[in-house]
Amino acid sequence: MQTTVQSPIRFEGIGLHTGLPVAMSVCPAPANHGIVFQRTDIRLGNARIPALWDHAEQSPLCTLIVNDAGVSVSTIEHVMAAFAGCGVHNALVKIDGPEVPVLDGSAAPFVRKIMAAGVARLSAPIRVIEVLSTVEVHTAQGWARLAPGAGLTMDFHIDFKDQAIGKQSKSLDLCNGTFVRELCDSRTFCRASDVEAMRAAGKALGGTMDNAVVVDGNCVLTPGGLRHEDEAVRHKMLDALGDLSLAGAPILGHYEGHKAGHTLTNMLLRELFATPDGYRIRECDFALAARLPGAGVNATEIPAVA
């Protein structure tokens, strides 16, 4: 069955890129509503933006969605990953600014509060998007691919010059609460050499050592160091799950990303939906629903470090 949150959940913080204070509430929604953001600071016109692939605009540092009226919300990838990883299919996200709060730079604070509030079952079947044939997209920086699969599995590869990150690869089957156990606490990261450039471009204005892992060469500058030796690739997988959830339904398939980011994953969804024989939409039976990322989650499995 489809789900929503049991009761409203409130978050307060600052935007990673704007540096602005923001309050956000995740509210219950009916079946087939999907995830929709509503800008409460906009009084006139259409202030609702569906969290869907065809509302996403290219933005290299975050996921940005925009409606037909030009109203936008950015940096939605961590909360979207939390929805997917906790099996929340429907929610109205009320937000009083243009960017989702970054909190600690991971999805763990969202996961913790979603699971504390509880997830309510709705009287409508879950529909999934089953990948039937392989689709692939490339840029000069990397590539991403979706291939058929029985559930959602993921391979990710990154390669950075800084020795504190270097080359990392990871493979996961995202069924049975894997997201909560393995990925949700992994934080966004950046190189110290990029910080000033981002701020000069008006980005990362809210970035601090409390909400990002900052590396310089072979050194991790963030106090406390890494939560995982391969935290960087885990965070990339977290981002990819959040970006894939803009498909509008859980995906059955194998995702592989090589130096991929938000833009490539959105390009991949656009390629999938432009390939009519590349996918089908089907209803879940009990066995299939048990293989989705949100099945079998348990609050006790949130890593204690987060």
User: Catalytic residue positions?
Assistant: 262
Q: What backbone phi and psi angles, to 5 degrees, belong to 239? A: -60, -45
The two three-digit tokens of residue 208, written as one number = 């601090």
Question: Which among 288, 194, 243 has a CA at the least distance from the CA of 35?
Answer: 243
DSSP letters, 35-95, are EEEEETT--SS--EEE--GGGEE--TTS-EEE-TTS-EEE--HHHHHHHHHHT--BEEEEE
Instruction: Provide the β-strand partners of residue 22.
Output: 13
Q: Cβ distance 295 to 176 under 8 Å?
A: yes
Return d(Cα 257, Cα 240) in angstroms, integer: 9
Residue 273 has phi, psi (to 5 degrees) of: -75, -10
Q: What are phi and psi of 305, to 5 degrees?
A: -70, -25
The tokens for 301 are: 């499995």
Q: How far is CA 206 from CA 59, 100, 166, 195, 218, in A?
A: 17, 12, 26, 11, 24
Task: Write phi, then psi, for 99 (nearest 5 degrees).
Answer: -145, 135
The amino acid occupying position 146 is L
Q: Which residues pair with 24 in a beta bridge?
A: 11, 95
Q: Are 190 and 207 in contact (CB under 8 A)?
A: yes
